[in-house]
Amino acid sequence: MIKVKKQKNKVVQKSASSKAVKLKIPHFSPEIQIHSTPEILVEETAHLFMQIARAAVQERGRFVVALSGGSTPRGLFQHLAEEPYFSLIPWNKIFVFWVDERHVSFTDATSNYRMTQETLLSKVSIPKEQVFPMTNGYLPVEKAASAYEMKLRRFFGGDSLPCFDLTLMGMGEDGHTASLFPGMPQVNEQDKWVVGYFVDPEKKERVSLTFPVLNHSRLLVVLAEGSKKASRLKEVLEGPSDPPRYPIQYLRPAQGRLVFSIDASAAFKLKTSK
Ligand code: 6PG
Protein backbone atom coordinates (compact mmCIF):
# COMPACT_ATOMS: atom_id res chain seq x y z
CA MET A 1 0.00 0.00 0.00
CA ILE A 2 1.30 3.44 -0.94
CA LYS A 3 0.38 6.01 1.64
CA VAL A 4 0.40 9.65 0.59
CA LYS A 5 -0.58 12.30 3.06
CA LYS A 6 -1.26 15.79 1.75
CA GLN A 7 -0.39 18.55 4.13
CA LYS A 8 -3.44 20.30 5.55
CA ASN A 9 -3.26 23.92 4.48
CA LYS A 10 -2.66 26.19 7.42
CA VAL A 11 -3.33 29.90 7.40
CA VAL A 12 -1.23 32.05 9.71
CA GLN A 13 -2.92 35.32 10.59
CA LYS A 14 -1.65 38.16 12.80
CA SER A 15 -4.13 38.58 15.63
CA ALA A 16 -4.75 41.95 17.34
CA SER A 17 -2.00 41.15 19.83
CA SER A 18 0.23 40.50 16.76
CA LYS A 19 0.72 36.95 18.10
CA ALA A 20 0.68 34.65 15.11
CA VAL A 21 -2.42 32.52 15.33
CA LYS A 22 -2.44 29.30 13.36
CA LEU A 23 -5.92 28.76 12.00
CA LYS A 24 -6.55 25.40 10.46
CA ILE A 25 -9.11 26.05 7.77
CA PRO A 26 -10.41 22.70 6.58
CA HIS A 27 -9.09 22.24 3.09
CA PHE A 28 -9.76 19.32 0.79
CA SER A 29 -6.64 17.33 1.56
CA PRO A 30 -7.35 13.63 1.86
CA GLU A 31 -4.91 10.91 2.69
CA ILE A 32 -4.63 8.59 -0.30
CA GLN A 33 -4.14 4.87 0.19
CA ILE A 34 -3.57 2.84 -2.98
CA HIS A 35 -4.02 -0.94 -2.87
CA SER A 36 -2.66 -3.17 -5.63
CA THR A 37 -5.87 -5.18 -6.14
CA PRO A 38 -9.59 -4.91 -5.29
CA GLU A 39 -9.16 -7.91 -2.96
CA ILE A 40 -6.45 -6.12 -0.98
CA LEU A 41 -8.60 -2.98 -0.90
CA VAL A 42 -11.41 -5.03 0.67
CA GLU A 43 -9.08 -6.77 3.13
CA GLU A 44 -7.40 -3.52 4.24
CA THR A 45 -10.76 -1.78 4.67
CA ALA A 46 -12.19 -4.71 6.62
CA HIS A 47 -9.17 -4.63 8.89
CA LEU A 48 -9.57 -0.88 9.42
CA PHE A 49 -13.31 -1.33 10.12
CA MET A 50 -12.46 -3.96 12.76
CA GLN A 51 -9.77 -1.78 14.35
CA ILE A 52 -12.02 1.30 14.52
CA ALA A 53 -14.95 -0.74 15.85
CA ARG A 54 -12.92 -2.33 18.62
CA ALA A 55 -11.30 0.97 19.59
CA ALA A 56 -14.65 2.80 19.67
CA VAL A 57 -16.23 0.11 21.85
CA GLN A 58 -13.19 0.18 24.13
CA GLU A 59 -13.30 3.97 24.47
CA ARG A 60 -17.03 4.76 24.27
CA GLY A 61 -18.84 1.48 24.70
CA ARG A 62 -20.25 1.54 21.18
CA PHE A 63 -19.30 1.88 17.49
CA VAL A 64 -21.54 4.17 15.43
CA VAL A 65 -21.10 3.75 11.68
CA ALA A 66 -22.75 5.33 8.63
CA LEU A 67 -22.72 3.21 5.47
CA SER A 68 -23.03 4.07 1.81
CA GLY A 69 -24.59 1.91 -0.84
CA GLY A 70 -23.89 1.38 -4.50
CA SER A 71 -21.79 -1.55 -5.71
CA THR A 72 -18.35 -0.88 -4.22
CA PRO A 73 -19.16 -1.73 -0.58
CA ARG A 74 -20.75 -5.12 -1.43
CA GLY A 75 -17.45 -6.99 -1.35
CA LEU A 76 -16.45 -5.33 1.90
CA PHE A 77 -19.74 -6.19 3.61
CA GLN A 78 -19.45 -9.84 2.51
CA HIS A 79 -15.86 -9.95 3.80
CA LEU A 80 -16.86 -8.48 7.18
CA ALA A 81 -19.47 -11.22 7.60
CA GLU A 82 -16.78 -13.93 7.20
CA GLU A 83 -14.01 -15.10 9.51
CA PRO A 84 -11.85 -13.68 10.98
CA TYR A 85 -13.91 -10.48 11.10
CA PHE A 86 -17.12 -12.29 12.01
CA SER A 87 -15.48 -13.21 15.32
CA LEU A 88 -13.27 -10.15 15.79
CA ILE A 89 -15.88 -7.39 15.46
CA PRO A 90 -18.14 -6.62 18.49
CA TRP A 91 -21.35 -6.71 16.41
CA ASN A 92 -23.65 -6.39 19.42
CA LYS A 93 -22.15 -2.96 20.20
CA ILE A 94 -22.56 -1.57 16.69
CA PHE A 95 -25.15 1.04 15.64
CA VAL A 96 -25.75 1.26 11.89
CA PHE A 97 -26.96 4.36 10.03
CA TRP A 98 -26.90 5.14 6.32
CA VAL A 99 -25.15 7.96 4.47
CA ASP A 100 -27.83 7.94 1.82
CA GLU A 101 -30.61 5.84 0.38
CA ARG A 102 -32.73 5.57 -2.67
CA HIS A 103 -36.31 6.53 -1.71
CA VAL A 104 -37.68 3.05 -2.40
CA SER A 105 -39.05 0.09 -0.44
CA PHE A 106 -36.74 -2.17 1.54
CA THR A 107 -37.38 -4.91 -1.03
CA ASP A 108 -36.51 -2.77 -4.05
CA ALA A 109 -33.47 -4.07 -5.95
CA THR A 110 -31.82 -0.62 -5.73
CA SER A 111 -32.29 -0.25 -1.98
CA ASN A 112 -29.02 0.29 -0.09
CA TYR A 113 -30.69 -1.16 3.00
CA ARG A 114 -31.60 -4.33 1.08
CA MET A 115 -28.03 -4.70 -0.22
CA THR A 116 -26.58 -4.23 3.28
CA GLN A 117 -29.14 -6.63 4.76
CA GLU A 118 -28.30 -9.33 2.20
CA THR A 119 -24.51 -9.00 2.34
CA LEU A 120 -23.96 -8.24 6.02
CA LEU A 121 -26.83 -7.57 8.45
CA SER A 122 -28.53 -10.94 7.88
CA LYS A 123 -25.25 -12.72 8.76
CA VAL A 124 -24.08 -10.91 11.91
CA SER A 125 -25.71 -10.29 15.27
CA ILE A 126 -26.45 -6.57 15.39
CA PRO A 127 -29.63 -6.08 17.47
CA LYS A 128 -32.47 -4.91 15.19
CA GLU A 129 -33.05 -1.85 17.37
CA GLN A 130 -29.46 -0.76 16.62
CA VAL A 131 -30.05 -0.60 12.86
CA PHE A 132 -31.57 2.64 11.54
CA PRO A 133 -32.76 2.36 7.91
CA MET A 134 -33.12 5.73 6.21
CA THR A 135 -36.39 5.33 4.30
CA ASN A 136 -38.74 2.65 2.99
CA GLY A 137 -40.07 4.89 0.24
CA TYR A 138 -43.46 5.34 1.90
CA LEU A 139 -43.48 8.96 3.14
CA PRO A 140 -43.03 11.95 0.81
CA VAL A 141 -39.25 12.18 0.34
CA GLU A 142 -38.84 15.46 2.24
CA LYS A 143 -40.77 14.00 5.19
CA ALA A 144 -38.63 10.86 5.08
CA ALA A 145 -35.57 13.11 5.38
CA SER A 146 -36.92 15.05 8.36
CA ALA A 147 -38.02 11.81 10.02
CA TYR A 148 -34.46 10.51 9.72
CA GLU A 149 -33.12 13.75 11.13
CA MET A 150 -35.39 13.21 14.15
CA LYS A 151 -33.95 9.68 14.52
CA LEU A 152 -30.45 11.16 14.50
CA ARG A 153 -31.39 13.84 17.04
CA ARG A 154 -32.95 11.26 19.35
CA PHE A 155 -29.93 8.97 19.07
CA PHE A 156 -27.17 11.58 19.42
CA GLY A 157 -29.13 13.73 21.84
CA GLY A 158 -30.19 17.34 21.21
CA ASP A 159 -28.73 19.78 18.75
CA SER A 160 -25.07 18.85 18.48
CA LEU A 161 -24.19 17.43 15.10
CA PRO A 162 -24.06 13.63 14.90
CA CYS A 163 -20.55 12.23 15.15
CA PHE A 164 -20.03 8.89 13.45
CA ASP A 165 -16.96 6.89 14.40
CA LEU A 166 -16.68 5.79 10.77
CA THR A 167 -18.50 7.07 7.70
CA LEU A 168 -18.03 4.90 4.64
CA MET A 169 -18.40 6.83 1.38
CA GLY A 170 -18.18 6.15 -2.32
CA MET A 171 -17.64 8.36 -5.34
CA GLY A 172 -19.76 8.38 -8.45
CA GLU A 173 -18.18 8.80 -11.87
CA ASP A 174 -19.56 12.35 -11.88
CA GLY A 175 -17.79 13.21 -8.62
CA HIS A 176 -20.86 12.94 -6.41
CA THR A 177 -20.74 11.37 -2.99
CA ALA A 178 -23.59 10.28 -0.74
CA SER A 179 -26.57 11.51 -2.75
CA LEU A 180 -25.10 14.97 -3.17
CA PHE A 181 -24.82 15.49 -6.90
CA PRO A 182 -23.20 18.22 -9.02
CA GLY A 183 -25.58 21.08 -9.74
CA MET A 184 -28.05 20.16 -7.01
CA PRO A 185 -28.66 22.89 -4.36
CA GLN A 186 -28.72 20.24 -1.62
CA VAL A 187 -24.91 20.09 -1.97
CA ASN A 188 -24.79 23.48 -0.22
CA GLU A 189 -27.25 22.66 2.59
CA GLN A 190 -25.74 23.88 5.85
CA ASP A 191 -28.69 23.70 8.27
CA LYS A 192 -30.53 20.43 7.66
CA TRP A 193 -28.78 17.23 8.66
CA VAL A 194 -30.69 15.16 6.11
CA VAL A 195 -32.14 16.14 2.73
CA GLY A 196 -34.68 14.32 0.61
CA TYR A 197 -35.18 15.36 -2.99
CA PHE A 198 -35.61 14.46 -6.64
CA VAL A 199 -32.10 13.98 -8.02
CA ASP A 200 -32.39 15.26 -11.54
CA PRO A 201 -29.27 13.55 -12.97
CA GLU A 202 -30.56 10.24 -11.60
CA LYS A 203 -34.25 10.89 -12.27
CA LYS A 204 -34.89 9.34 -8.86
CA GLU A 205 -35.69 10.48 -5.34
CA ARG A 206 -32.90 10.14 -2.80
CA VAL A 207 -32.40 10.78 0.92
CA SER A 208 -28.92 11.86 2.04
CA LEU A 209 -26.91 13.15 4.95
CA THR A 210 -25.57 16.63 4.30
CA PHE A 211 -21.95 17.78 4.35
CA PRO A 212 -22.08 19.39 7.82
CA VAL A 213 -22.97 15.96 9.25
CA LEU A 214 -20.54 14.02 7.06
CA ASN A 215 -17.71 16.39 7.99
CA HIS A 216 -18.36 15.87 11.69
CA SER A 217 -17.30 12.21 11.45
CA ARG A 218 -14.22 10.98 13.25
CA LEU A 219 -13.14 9.13 10.14
CA LEU A 220 -14.39 9.41 6.57
CA VAL A 221 -13.26 6.63 4.22
CA VAL A 222 -14.01 6.97 0.52
CA LEU A 223 -13.81 3.64 -1.30
CA ALA A 224 -13.19 3.73 -5.04
CA GLU A 225 -12.34 0.84 -7.29
CA GLY A 226 -11.90 0.20 -10.99
CA SER A 227 -10.58 2.07 -14.00
CA LYS A 228 -13.94 3.78 -14.62
CA LYS A 229 -13.23 6.01 -11.60
CA ALA A 230 -9.63 6.84 -12.66
CA SER A 231 -10.26 10.02 -14.68
CA ARG A 232 -12.59 11.53 -12.13
CA LEU A 233 -10.28 10.64 -9.25
CA LYS A 234 -7.40 12.41 -11.00
CA GLU A 235 -9.53 15.55 -11.38
CA VAL A 236 -10.83 15.32 -7.81
CA LEU A 237 -7.51 14.53 -6.12
CA GLU A 238 -4.98 16.30 -8.33
CA GLY A 239 -6.99 18.91 -10.21
CA PRO A 240 -8.14 22.35 -9.07
CA SER A 241 -10.50 22.73 -6.14
CA ASP A 242 -13.94 22.92 -7.74
CA PRO A 243 -16.46 21.46 -5.28
CA PRO A 244 -19.56 22.68 -7.14
CA ARG A 245 -18.36 20.49 -10.02
CA TYR A 246 -17.02 17.70 -7.81
CA PRO A 247 -19.13 17.70 -4.62
CA ILE A 248 -16.89 15.04 -3.06
CA GLN A 249 -14.34 17.85 -2.60
CA TYR A 250 -16.67 19.26 0.07
CA LEU A 251 -15.53 16.39 2.31
CA ARG A 252 -13.37 18.42 4.70
CA PRO A 253 -13.64 17.00 8.21
CA ALA A 254 -12.92 19.77 10.72
CA GLN A 255 -11.45 17.42 13.34
CA GLY A 256 -11.56 13.99 11.73
CA ARG A 257 -9.58 12.20 9.04
CA LEU A 258 -10.46 11.83 5.36
CA VAL A 259 -8.98 8.82 3.59
CA PHE A 260 -9.41 7.85 -0.05
CA SER A 261 -8.86 4.10 -0.14
CA ILE A 262 -8.56 3.09 -3.78
CA ASP A 263 -7.30 0.20 -5.88
CA ALA A 264 -4.53 0.47 -8.49
CA SER A 265 -7.00 0.51 -11.41
CA ALA A 266 -8.78 3.54 -10.00
CA ALA A 267 -5.44 5.18 -9.16
CA PHE A 268 -3.60 4.55 -12.41
CA LYS A 269 -3.91 8.16 -13.67
CA LEU A 270 -2.68 9.69 -10.43
CA LYS A 271 0.84 11.13 -10.20
CA THR A 272 1.14 9.59 -6.76
CA SER A 273 0.61 6.10 -8.12
CA LYS A 274 3.67 6.24 -10.41
C1 6PG B 1 -25.40 5.31 -3.54
C2 6PG B 1 -24.13 5.73 -2.88
C3 6PG B 1 -23.34 6.57 -3.83
C4 6PG B 1 -22.21 5.69 -4.23
C5 6PG B 1 -21.54 6.18 -5.47
C6 6PG B 1 -20.56 5.11 -5.99
O7 6PG B 1 -26.43 5.21 -2.87
O8 6PG B 1 -25.31 5.00 -4.75
O9 6PG B 1 -24.16 6.13 -1.66
O10 6PG B 1 -22.85 7.77 -3.33
O11 6PG B 1 -21.27 5.61 -3.16
O12 6PG B 1 -22.53 6.42 -6.45
O13 6PG B 1 -21.33 3.99 -6.34
P14 6PG B 1 -20.63 2.63 -6.82
O15 6PG B 1 -19.99 2.05 -5.61
O16 6PG B 1 -21.77 1.78 -7.32
O17 6PG B 1 -19.64 3.00 -7.89
pTM here is: 0.91
Percent of the chain's residues with pLDDT above 70: 90
Confidence of residue 250 (pLDDT cuts 50, 70, 90): very high
Which atom in ligand 1 lies closest to the alpha carbon of residue 101? 7
Q: What pLDDT, on the 0 to 100 scale, is given for residue 7?
A: 44
Q: Is 112 in the pocket of ligand 1 (CB under 6 A)?
A: yes
Cα pseudo-dihedral 27, 47, 70, 269, rounded to 10: 60
CA of 70 relative to ligand 1 center, distance in Å: 4
Q: Which of 87-91, 176-180, 268-272 has the lowest mean pLDDT?
A: 268-272
Cα–Cα separations (whole angstroms), residue 206 to 65, 103, 252 = 20, 5, 22
For the stretch 197-235, pLDDT in tens is 999 888 999 999 999 999 999 999 999 999 999 999 999
pLDDT tens track for 27-64: 898 999 999 999 999 999 999 999 999 999 999 999 99
Ramachandran region, residue 258 (left: φ > 0; alpha: ψ -120 to 50; beta: rest): beta
CB of 23 closer than 8 Å to CB of 51: no
Separation of CA 170 and ligand 1 centre (Å): 5
DSSP assignment, residue 131?
B
Radius of gyration of the chain from Cα atoms? 18
If you take atom 11 of ligand 1, which residue's CA is the nearest one? 170
Per-residue model confidence (pLDDT) at position 67: 98
Q: Report which residue type is found at 144.
A: A
Ligand 1 centroid from CA 171, angstroms: 6
For the CA of 179, the nearest atom of ligand 1: 10
Measured distance CA(5)–CA(166) in Å, rounded = 19
